[in-house]
Chain A
Amino acid sequence: MKNFSRKQFLKTAAGAALVMAARAFSTPLSAAEKFFREPPWKRKKPYWGYAVDVTKCIGCARCVDACKTENDVPREAFYFRTWVERYILRRSGEVNVDSPNGGLDGYLPPSDPGTVTKSFFVPKMCNHCENPPCVQVCPVGATFKTEDGVILVDRKYCIGCRYCIQACPYGSRFFHPVLHVADKCTLCYHRIKKGLKTACVEVCPTGARMFGDLSDPKSAISKFYETETLQVLKANMGAEPKLVYKGLDKEVR
């Protein structure tokens, strides 16, 4: 009996191994099809997306100011829901980055302008990732992705462990000094729900910032997604940001 069952087991195991091996050899190409994932905005309406055209940003930081005003963000130089970075690339290969008070204090003219090869501004904010690392680590379900694709923090439920701040690859979260909870860009949820633009998009004078409904094929943002050459920040994190950039330089991170 004992021998029989062992034999039986070996048979089954060998069989299973064979089937798996056969599968691995016979379908190497079709496996690639599994990488395709239908974007959620094909299924859910609305579904918000955001885009930044780096080639249009003039670094006026109106957006930074508007964000702080609209959302009561503490006016300290280390609490931002959005900020604007300036990159200065030099002939020597040196890269200088700054963002004085998030851009609100203005940018001093670069020293040694003769050595500068290029310089540009990059607005940063929450990437409202499709696969958000911050939501993944939240121990209690206080930070979450809404059904329309926005990442929010429940201020009445957050325990203030700050794990999400550690987990965000983009530095878009901070610890609110008054509320003692994690805080971040809400994509002006209280505005977009009423059909208004986010505060940052509202005040952007050059149209460098753009947002809209990805589920609407006719929206400007959908067109932008479909026709422009886009990049996301730190794609290797696998977070799948819904904040995309046009004209991003390789030095930006």
Chain B
Amino acid sequence: MDLAYIETLREALHKVSGYIYPNDLELQWSVLIVLYPYITGLVAGAFVLASLERVFDVKVLKPTYRLSLLVALAFLLVAPLPLNVHLGHPERGIEIFLTPHTSSAMAMFGFVYLWYLMVVLLMEVWLDYRREIVEWSRSETFWPKRVFYKVLTLGVDNISPRSLEIDDKLGRILTVVGLPSALLLHGYVGFIFGSIKANPWWSTPLMPVIFIFSAMASGIAGVMLIYMFMCWVRKVRIDMPCLDTIGKFLLTAIIVAFSLEMLEMLQTVYEAEEHFDIISLLVEGKLFVSMILVQIVMGSLTPIALLGVLQLAELREKTRKFICALSGVLALIGILAMRWNVVIGGQFFSKSLRGFTTYKMEFAGREGLLSAIILGLLPLAILAVLLYLLPPWPKEDQAKAS
């Protein structure tokens, strides 16, 4: 028994307000479970951005196409980690694949995840890079890297025009399949919460849809910021038409996500069911800062206003960059707050609907802030490795940079 943890729970007993079911004192899903939909959302959003170029032929997004794919891959590799670290028995986690319970959203998520990682994303990246991989496997002078590329070629160095044409076709098909897969992946994360009828804060059919659109916003914002950052690191000019277009898509995603959230709220207020009192206390009280201020005002309204100005006014390049960067950061913070408000907020009130418990985040423990920060930064480290091994920049760019 973790005595220090028991002690925090004993202290929490004194901070309960109203009446909670005694077992509802402990907040079951910690900050790690906040991180999980956040990371998964970034994956889905980044992939949608990639599909815009590939499937919908938004050619101006070319500079970020491959970068989006790598961002999606880096975050996807980390996505299940917070879940597994959180388990009471991480060593039994594999049971989800061995004996999946078909009526459980969580079990099905495992398969959606594997499908998306193995079949869609890895294949797509591989097909897209295959020509370069073969070339690098011949030209690379640093031997470990050369071996790595050799392995990736799977021993086939045929890059005849016909084979590349086939790759391109297959890649396009995969993207078309991948788009619903990405939405399914993140829609499913929403469903994990939305299907819990016992919790009125979660139980809404809109939950998967809201998750999908906020995922798009976060993924687009994430790729945009990484792109701007990498341009700065590599000392190349930001492709302004590309950035402006990303800004437009970001604006669209935030507007849709925000409208859906507000519609959901309106519905709750108007229907005013049994749980209405506790929900309104929750929003006015424990979630006031993280929901009203951070999620709505700072994370949604401000970026909508900023990006809106960008569409209406003729601004200098520098100002446009600044507005995009600022909106991206605000949107990312706002969406993180949204995940917090859903996951933690939904556990603040007891199912007695008569009282609140508290949550004191640990710092160093297994489910503490520190592991959340590490898990949150891990995808960026993986991305750095991916960018080193599979540079996504166009040829002329690479020449300029070196």
Contacts and interface: CB of A to CB of B under 8 A. Distances in A.
Do A and B interact directly, with beta carbons closer than 8 Å?
A: yes
B128 interface: no
Nearest to A76: B6
A236 to B, nearest CB: 8
Interface string B1-39: 110011001100100000101111110110000000000
A41 to B, nearest CB: 23
A17 interface: no
A136 B22 CA distance: 23
A107 interface: no
B198 A168 contact: yes
Given A78-B26, A160-B87, A97 B19 contact: yes
A139 B88 contact: no
A96 B352 CA distance: 12
Given A163-B106, A177-B5, A181-B88, A139 B353 contact: no
Interface in B73-91: 83, 86-90
Interface in A133-155: 133, 136-142
B402 to A, nearest CB: 48
Contact of B96 (A124, A158, A159, A172): A159
B1 A159 contact: no
Contacts of B352: 97, 171, 253
B316 interface: no
Contact of A99 (B22, B86, B96, B274): B22
Nearest to B95: A140
Nearest to B110: A139
Interface in A161-175: 161-163, 165-175
Query: Which has the most chain A C-beta neighbours within 10 Å: B21, B92, B196, B351?
Result: B21
Contacts of A79: 22-23
A157 B99 CA distance: 11
Given A161-B87, A161-B106, A178-B1, A77 B22 contact: yes
Contact of B88 (A83, A97, A175): A175
B1 A166 contact: no
Given A157-B92, A161-B106, A171-B352, A140 B22 contact: no
A10 B100 CA distance: 41
A138 B104 contact: yes
A133 B19 contact: no
A180 interface: yes
B88 A180 contact: yes
Contacts of B197: 133, 167, 169, 237-238
Contacts of A171: 21-24, 350-352
A157 to B, nearest CB: 7
Interface in A60-83: 74, 76-80, 83
B332 to A, nearest CB: 27
Interface residues of B, number: 49
Contacts of B5: 177
A136 B95 contact: no
Contacts of A80: 22-23
A102 interface: yes
A98 B354 CA distance: 10
A138 B99 CA distance: 11
Query: Which has the most chain B C-beta neighbours within 10 Å: A142, A166, A173?
Result: A166
B295 to A, nearest CB: 22
B19 A166 contact: no
A151 to B, nearest CB: 14
A180 B26 CA distance: 13
Contacts of B83: 161
Given A139-B107, A140-B101, A157-B95, A83 B22 contact: yes
A174 B26 contact: yes
A141 B95 CA distance: 9
B105 interface: yes
B268 interface: no
Interface of B: 1-2, 5-6, 9-10, 13, 19, 21-26, 28-29, 83, 86-90, 92-93, 95-96, 98-101, 103-107, 110, 192, 195-199, 274, 347, 350-354
6 contacts: A76-B10, A79-B22, A140-B107, A159-B92, A169-B351, A171-B24
